[in-house]
Amino acid sequence: MINKKVTDLEVFALEQIVRPYQSMIMKDVPIKVSPYSLDELIGMLKLNNEWSKLVLNRIYNCEFYFPSYISHELVDLIRKHKIK
């Protein structure tokens, strides 16, 4: 699989974290902007619940690539994730 380069963390958060399993955390209605801040998403992903495991495993399997200029705790969390 080819690594997918992430250049916009806000767009990534919406498209790869919130939307794929949206119905598990909120109403499944079309959204154009994430209702959660990046910091809120970090907290949600650290809960280690069914939703967070699905999201992190999916991201891991998709092999996203974060350039060094994208420095954020969310990226660190994703980089540290290993499938359990």
Q: Is the dihedral of CA 38, 70, 24, 32 positive or negative?
A: positive
Domain boundaries, the chain: 4-80
Structure confidence at residue 1 (pLDDT): 52
Structure confidence at residue 60 (pLDDT): 92
Render pLDDT for 11-43 as a digit per residue (tens, 0 to 9): 999 999 999 999 999 988 889 999 999 999 999
Structure confidence at residue 35 (pLDDT): 95
**pLDDT-based confidence at residue 3 (cuts at 50, 70, 90):** confident
**pLDDT-based confidence at residue 81 (cuts at 50, 70, 90):** confident
Contact call for residues 44 and 2 (beta carbons, < 8 A): no
